[in-house]
Structure 1
Amino acid sequence: MGVRLHKFLSECGVGARRWCEALIERGEISVNGCVVTKLGTIVEPECDSVIFRGKRVVPQENEYLALYKPIGVVCSCKKDSKYQRVIDLIPENKKRLFHVGRLDVDSEGLILLTNDGEFSHIITHPSFEIVKEYQVWLNTRLTKEEVDCIASGVPISDEHIAHAIVKKTEPLKKGCVVYLELVEGKNREIRKLFGRLHKKVLRLRRLRIGPVQLGSLSQGQYRPLTEEEVSFFKKMKKE
């Protein structure tokens, strides 16, 4: 049965779906000896030979990890980065995994890694509305009006309004700790959101992605996802 090339690449662990589309457009994928650059190309996995960087792409067993990303570690596959990468925190035999979504270099907390592109797509695409929870340290306290404003939506650019739900706040001698949930989480969205409210983010940690909790993981430590955790996301695709 035929399948779209980018979907086949993603399911074989080459990368997330959008990354695979970019590979095709750049001419880095060949099928039966011919370079393919057209999105939507159909391949027959059982008989077509799909090559990426000199190696045939074949289905592989999927793997799913939850990792505590420390501050100063980047979510990047580029080896020329001046920072340590998330994938540098896992053993060599797991280097085929890639990170699902991102946390900026100044943030810490839960990041997922996998070789399952469809799994990555479910978590990162806003249409699936996967809730993520964060713990944020601010330099000043939040007022009730500011909490309501965050729920209503804060414009952080001409094109985007950030929405989040403040679950609770904990006062500190200087500032407070905020626990909030949001769905999309674009590039540095939380920092931009609080910046619009004239707050400075002192520390930011992601605690949860869907049902997957950071829990008792130490910085740099990882664990495999449970069958129940993986199943939660897989069921969303079927729905």
Structure 2
Amino acid sequence: MIAQNKTENGYFSLVSENEHFVVINKQPGINFHSEDGEFGVVVAVEKFLNIKLYSVHRLDKMTSGLLLLAKSSQVANGLSELFKAQQVQKYYLAIADKKPKKTQGLIKGGMDKSRRSMWKLTRNQDNLAITQFFSYALGEGKRLFIVKPKTGKTHQIRVALKSVGSAICGDPIYATETAHQYDRGYLHAYQIQFNYLGQDHQFSVMPESGVEFLSDACQQKLLELGNCDGLHWPKL
């Protein structure tokens, strides 16, 4: 399912809803959880639908895109098990303004806490993060990344691209020197697919904001690439 819907209160747009779960397109710059006196995107969806929802996975504040919210704790447990078992295929878009050390491949390493709220990639095998990617030139020094995280660690994609020399444009933590030059952090949860209770689900949503995401070069490249699942991802 490909969706482009009305944004509700600046927090999200509704992509799909069924008896088990809701799929939304979270807007960038919105917290996942409520904090500092402002409610997060989960509460925003609960208020809009007037129902209790349960977290299954999460997106960073700067990240936009597809987010699943369960309608019961039982469904949340079931979907969470799919994520833990790596049976949910997720594909992200990112844009960087520096060419990576390699234009495609595998980024693998342990995720360790660094200074402040940062993480770093190490050779340690504890808290292992595995990320695959392809990158494409967009012109004017920009590169589009299609990223497939096999694991789901905090800041995983942001740290992975930083480790190959291509910190994400607008990232306030990992690209601090140039983040102010961009209108948002350029990371978007683009496509997701999984099987739940014997039924296949596939969702895709384009970024709704960001000059670089909405550029003709980026839009044309995404049109050419089509379904991310069809790319030649090496087996791990």
Same fold (TM > 0.5): yes
Is the counterpart of residue 64 in structure 1 residue 21 in structure 2?
yes
Counterpart position of 1:156: 111
Counterpart position of 2:166: 199
Measure, in 1, the Cα distance between the counterparts of 2:49 and 2:105: 47
Counterpart position of 1:114: 70
Residue correspondence of structure 1 range 90-239 to structure 2 within 5 A: 90=45, 91-124=47-80, 125-144=83-102, 147-150=104-107, 153-157=108-112, 158=124, 159-202=126-169, 203-210=186-193, 211-215=201-205
Which structure has the bigger radius of gyration? Answer: 1
Measure, in 1, the Cα distance between the counterparts of 2:152 and 2:26: 17
RMSD: 2.8
TM-score, with structure 1 as normaliser: 0.55
Contact 1:139 1:174 in 2 (8 A): yes
Counterpart position of 1:87: 42
Structure 1, unmatched stretches of 5+, are 1-60, 220-239
**SS of residue in 2 equivalent to 1:120:** helix
TM-score, with structure 2 as normaliser: 0.55
1:142-170 residue CA offsets vs partner (Å, 9 max, x unmatched): 343x63342xx244334233222224534
Structure 2, unmatched stretches of 5+, are 1-17, 113-123, 170-185, 194-200, 210-236
Task: Count residues in correspondence.
Answer: 154
State the shift of 1:127 in Å. 1.5
1:59-94 residue CA offsets vs partner (Å, 9 max, x unmatched): xx9442111111121222x4x444441134334543
More helix by share: 1
Identity, % of aligned pairs? 15
Letter in 2 for 1:110: L
More strand by share: 2
1:89 to 1:101, Cα distance in 2 relative to 1, 3 A: same
